[in-house]
Amino acid sequence: MRFFIQPLVAFSMLVMLASPACSAPGDKYNDMKRFTKAYDLVLGGYVRDVDNEELMNGAIKGMLEGLDPHSTFLSKDDFKEMQEATSGEFFGIGIEISTENNQLIVVSPIEDTPADKAGLKAGDTILAVDGMPTQDMTTQEAVSKIRGPKGSPVELLIMHKEAKAPDTVTIVRDAIPLISVKARFLDDDGYLWVRLTRFNDRTTSELLEALAEQGKKASIKGIVLDLRNNPGGLFKQSVTVADAFLKKGAIVSMRGRGGKVIETHDARDSNKDVACPVVVLVNQGTASASEIVAGALQDHNRAVLIGERTFGKGSVQKIEPLGDGTAIKITIARYYTPSGRSIQAEGIVPDLEVAFEPARDGEAKPIRFFGPREKDLSRHLENGAKNKEADKDKTKEKPKLLEDATKTILEKDNQLRIALQMVRSLPKISEVHAQ
């Protein structure tokens, strides 16, 4: 998520941000005098020479990071890396991280990245990076240390959830894929699985392109929108993705200091809007922009949410360039769903809570809906109701949409199986309620 505005005079702006809302002008000037005096004392009396820019950057950094885990100072390299992460290629291991109680935690690994393949999970704690403890390390400092040249290793000391002892994991950095949408059919009846792995500059256009491409193969009867382990990304993309499933109504609002509404976003009717039944999969790794989508679809009864309570990252950060290649990221508001729920620290509770149950080694979960039906049995009795159109349909061979790899995934993913069963039943449920 990024909100760029014109560069401001950094020092005066930061002094205002640091002062309480109720402070009188005289108090602000007194605070500024105290800061200036401390700055001069360090600059002139510290035991060694101090670089002026380094000192000022440290002061800004300390002020912001005392506010919350997401407000921070971005050096020139940090600012460049943040821009690349949403619009250009960068190298790393593919995780979204945050801080909680001065500990570095994994919000979510990005699908098909080195971190994902190494077994990192949402909720894991990163205790050290290349032997350096992460206690009190800022999120941005950790990001800078974890990223690096393609092919180079980084060693992480990880405390997995439920583990009794930490585990040392060495991960080789690679290019982080920018494709954020993957789609494939879950069966031969036209029920589609759409995975959103993150929200970058092209997520909405990739979504619409994927739906159009899959729609050429067969009529899409329903969609399982998978937002599990989606750490978020660009705010505007979350709005346009939600809009693709909604014809009208609020999507999200932002409330700033004092609960003042500073921004609202509503759905717009379009002939490209998705009209079929939708089930949304969420878990602890569903955060930020993906929570906005899930909350909007849930509040409008547009989709049934299945899975586990989401991460609860419902604060809004604005990126403010400072004019010299650096920037600050500062929290300016909280997100609210259409019904007025705050996502922050609460997350989204799914309509049907289903914990993920990985299949044990050698154990394949049964997939009942792939079993034979009466019409598939040898020498089955015909229906008896024949017409020319039915005879014509017999000559048509039903396209094989289900891939073997997808069937294997379904065998191992109980949440995805339940989501498919649910999206299949939604049209019938709607018909019952309409009577």
Catalytic residues, which ones?
288, 299, 313
- Amino acid in the structure at residue 413: D
Paired tokens of 129? 């990076």
Tokens 């899975």 correspond to what residue? 307
Pick left, alpha or beta for residue 384 (phi over 0 → left; psi -120 to 50 → alpha; otherwise beta).
left
Diameter of the chain by CA atoms?
99
Edge-to-edge strands of the sheet including 278-282? 181-185, 191-196, 222-226, 278-282, 304-307, 352-353
SS3 233: strand
DSSP 239: H
SS3 4: strand
DSSP 344: T
Q: What is the DSSP string of 27-84?
A: HHHHHHHHHHHHHHHHHHHSSS---HHHHHHHHHHHHHHTT-TT-EEE-HHHHHHHHH
SS3 181: strand
